[in-house]
A and B are shown apart, each in its own frame.
Chain A
Amino acid sequence: QKEVEQNSGPLSVPEGAIASLNCTYSDRGSQSFFWYRQYSGKSPELIMFIYSNGDKEDGRFTAQLNKASQYVSLLIRDSQPSDSATYLCAVNQGSDQGAQKLVFGQGTRLTINP
């Protein structure tokens, strides 16, 4: 089982609709969860982070975390063509050396159709 899993897509959503992206993780000790957006050929940019169970909203974006189910999601409301990108889920995991490492899923490619 991969440490962080995402459906690779592609996910196709009409403009103005809600896009829903999902992520599951294997390490129950994980404390911090992140969503990055990556345009083709570019580096990832952080768009949301969440530490506590429940929902966190920022503009058109909502992150949802359920630690009992080991599940993180990202909702994008009123989807725009500029939202078309690959979305990467990342999870902070502790290591046996005491340091913490950030582990990424394989990403979900999202296309918003005008």
Chain B
Amino acid sequence: DGGITQSPKYLFRKEGQNVTLSCEQNLNHDAMYWYRQDPGQGLRLIYYSQIVNDFQKGDIAEGYSVSREKKESFPLTVTSAQKNPTAFYLCASSKWGSTEAFFGQGTRLTVV
């Protein structure tokens, strides 16, 4: 089945640690996005990528890093520089020239 897979579903991190969230899609979509959602809030854009080996900062990129080495994959690293990383992280993808974005199931990150 085609879709977007995020893993893990739940992730616990100790303060000061870097963690990487996985996002894989087999929809042959060109564009991929990472969003953060805090309780009762909308989605805020962290990073986005239109093509392989290229990505742009969104509105809240500080403390995060990404890579786009393969079309199918867009991992997000939450670094120790991110002051308040506890949130619901959502990955999305869309076709080139279209921004009908489809979402993965999300990763809920908690700092302990």
A20 to chain B, nearest CB (A): 19
**Could you tell me which residues of chain B, from 12 to 60, have a CB within 8 Å of some CB in chain A?**
31, 33, 35, 40-45, 48, 50, 54, 56, 58-59
User: In the bound complex, do residue B103 and residue A32 qualify as a contact, i.e. CB atoms below 8 Å apart?
Assistant: no
Residue B78 is within 8 A (CB to CB) of chain A in the complex: no
Q: Which single residue of chain A is at the shortest CB-CB distance from B4?
A: A43
User: In the bound complex, do residue B103 and residue A49 qualify as a contact, i.e. CB atoms below 8 Å apart?
Assistant: no
User: In the bound complex, do residue B101 and residue A102 qualify as a contact, i.e. CB atoms below 8 Å apart?
Assistant: yes
Among B48, B98, B100, contact of A101 (Cβ-Cβ < 8 Å): B48
- Expressed in whole angstroms, the Cα–Cα distance for A6 and B104 within the complex equals 24
Residue B106 is within 8 A (CB to CB) of chain A in the complex: yes
Q: Which single residue of chain B is at the shortest CB-CB distance from A92?
A: B99
Interface readout for B82-112 with A: 1 if CB under 8 Å, 0 if not?
0000000010101000111111111000000
A90 to chain B, nearest CB (A): 8
Q: Report whether over half of chain A's contact residues are helix, strand or loop; otherwise say mixed.
A: strand
User: In the bound complex, do residue A100 and residue B105 qualify as a contact, i.e. CB atoms below 8 Å apart?
Assistant: no
B59: A residues at CB distance < 8 A: 103
Residue A68 is within 8 A (CB to CB) of chain B in the complex: no
A88: B residues at CB distance < 8 A: 42-43
The verdict on A43 contacting B50 (CB below 8 Å), with A32-B99, A97-B56, A101-B56 known, is no
Residue A25 is within 8 A (CB to CB) of chain B in the complex: no
The verdict on A103 contacting B45 (CB below 8 Å), with A32-B99, A43-B105 known, is yes
B54: A residues at CB distance < 8 A: 99
A-B contact pairs, 17 of them (CB 8 A): A4-B42, A8-B40, A43-B90, A43-B106, A44-B43, A90-B43, A92-B99, A97-B56, A99-B54, A100-B31, A100-B50, A100-B99, A102-B33, A102-B45, A104-B45, A106-B41, A107-B41
